[in-house]
């Protein structure tokens, strides 16, 4: 099964996720999350697949902290949050993996086994 993975090459978690998926025979279309940030429409699609909007934010990231988003997000609309996420890939929790229907955010082996296990 071909999967699209949005990743950041310097991210150890992303490298672990790619290794896990490749070891199970998945063909991957790798997209650099900063250079090929998901569009607002793609992000809306992830929400429709069951991903919570707040789970898309990289709350541990430097950009998130610098922008003080913890205090700003509660006052932002869903549209504004999606616009913000699609404008800066470093705000997105990574990796994001999708087959066009299902989506996972981050890397947890048990979740990957359930969603992408062979």
| Full-model pTM | 0.95
Mean pLDDT over all residues of the chain? Answer: 96
For 1-39, what is each residue's pLDDT tens digit?
799 999 999 999 999 999 999 999 999 999 999 999 999
pLDDT of residue 118: 62
Residue 62 neighbours by CB under 8 Å, 6+ apart = 90
Hey, CA dihedral for 106, 79, 62, 54, is it positive or negative?
Answer: negative
Domain hosting 95: range is 2-116
Confidence (pLDDT) at 54: 95
Counted domains in the chain:
1
**What integer is the mean pLDDT of 54-83?**
97
- Distance of alpha carbon 66 from alpha carbon 12, whole angstroms: 22
CATH code for the domain in which residue 64 is found: 3.40.30.10
Give the whole-angstrom CA distance, residue 24 versus residue 40. 30
């Amino acid at each position: 099964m071909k999967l699209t993975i949005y990743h950041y090459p310097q991210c150890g978690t992303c490298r672990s996720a790619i290794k896990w998926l490749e070891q199970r025979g998945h063909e991957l279309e790798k997209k650099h999350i900063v250079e090929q940030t998901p569009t607002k429409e793609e992000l809306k699609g992830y929400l429709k697949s069951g991903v919570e909007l707040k789970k898309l934010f990289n709350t541990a990231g430097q950009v998130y902290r610098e922008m003080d988003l913890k205090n700003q997000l509660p006052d932002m609309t869903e549209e504004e949050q999606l616009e913000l996420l699609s404008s800066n890939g470093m705000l997105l929790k990574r990796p994001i993996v999708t087959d066009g229907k299902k989506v996972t955010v981050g890397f947890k082996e048990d979740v990957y086994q359930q969603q992408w296990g062979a």
